[in-house]
Amino acid sequence: MAQARTTAERRQLARALPPLREADARAIQRFLDAAWAEQGLARRSLEAYRRDLEQLARWRDGTGGGLEGADRQALFDYLAWRARQGYHPRSNARLRASLRAFYGHLGRSGARADDPAALLDPPRVPRPLPKALTESEVDALLAAPDTATLEGLRDRAMLELMYAAGLRVSELGGLPANAVNRRQGGVRVLGKGGKERLVPLGEESQHWLQRYLEQARPVLAGTRPVPAGPDGQVPLFLTAARRAPTRQAFWQALKRHAAAAGVDPRTVTPHGLRHSFATHLLNRGADLRALQLLLGHASLSTTQIYTRVANEQLRQLHARHHPRG
């Protein structure tokens, strides 16, 4: 299997192809004009279509009627050439979408009676493993906010809750003020598809939630009633503007706290904390179906990806420490 090429290598390879022929350039422009007029595609989408189609046209260099005359075998040959050149499967998956759109347009406009791209099998795109932090990295990240400030106390409570319950960032920001049941030690979460789940909380997360609710939230809320959010609920976590923090604001705060904790901010994402929650539970012997319920996954197959993470970490541990590793 050819090694995946870098962006610079792909561009150099594309520059080595013959110049674009005028007939192919006109055909591509007609398609892009129609795609913009009919679907209102964004400029970036149109440019991606243009790059994909121009490279195919230059690779064919006018043979067999150029771009508009390509048959299914020609498209297969082109995909095989790209595979030999080391193009990434994701790039080929996007190319397939470009080909389907272009030749579908030719069929609708009457320029062709067949669709050579209709039966192209999508390339298999490897599913990346979730990136989880180590337990020590999580400990450092959670301890990073300055809890002497209102915002720092709020951030500490949010991070503790996100890691304790494995929440998505949208679920965390959307929590209503009545979501936490401190008597039962759990949080009620509204997940994807409007499915509700109750997730238990540990002592640490409950401690920081209580401190936030007693010391920070009343000050952030002020003396007037807190306005409800778009969902009609009063948010649990508040900014100085008395609104729920946005995803972007939480992302920026997370990066800032990661840097303060000595953790590479490039490796830390809101979803990474969810991955860390799942991976650490599995590493400590949690049942996969119980984990599925905690994460709110509709299918067990979605949860099973975390077993790959845990197994990979065990393999690396063995390789590092076993005398014959």
Domains of the chain by start residue, with CATH? 7-109 (1.10.150), 135-321 (1.10.443.10)
Residue 28 CB neighbour total at 10 angstroms: 21
Res 133: pLDDT: 85
> Is this structure's pTM higher than 0.95?
no
Res 309: pLDDT: 55
Res 91: pLDDT: 84
Res 318: pLDDT: 47
In our burial notation (b when 16+ CB lie closer than 10 A, e otherwise), range 114-132 reads ebbbeebeebeeeeeebeb
Q: How far apart are CA 239 and CA 22, in angstroms?
A: 57
**Which tokens belong to 298?**
């509709």
Q: How far apart are CA 303 and CA 297, in angstroms?
A: 7
Residues in the chain predicted with pLDDT less than 50, given as ranges, are: 1-2, 318, 321-322, 325
Res 297: pLDDT: 75
Res 18: pLDDT: 84
List strand residue ranges (DSSP E) for the chain, in order: 180-181, 186-190, 196-200
Catalytic residue positions, numbered = 168, 192, 271, 274, 297, 306
Beta bridge partners, 180, equal 187
**Which tokens belong to 247?**
């995803």
3-class secondary structure for 66-80? CCCCCCHHHHHHHHH
Q: How far apart are CA 61 and CA 139, in angstroms?
A: 58
Residue 20 CB neighbour total at 10 angstroms: 17
Res 70: pLDDT: 92
In the chain, what are the helix, strand and coil shares in percent, each to the nearest 5?
A: 60, 5, 35
Which are the contacts of 296, defined by CB distance < 8 A and separation ≥ 6? 189, 191, 192, 195, 197
Q: How far apart are CA 251 and CA 159, in angstroms?
A: 11
Angle at 131 between CA 127 and CA 135, to 5 degrees: 150
Res 1: pLDDT: 43
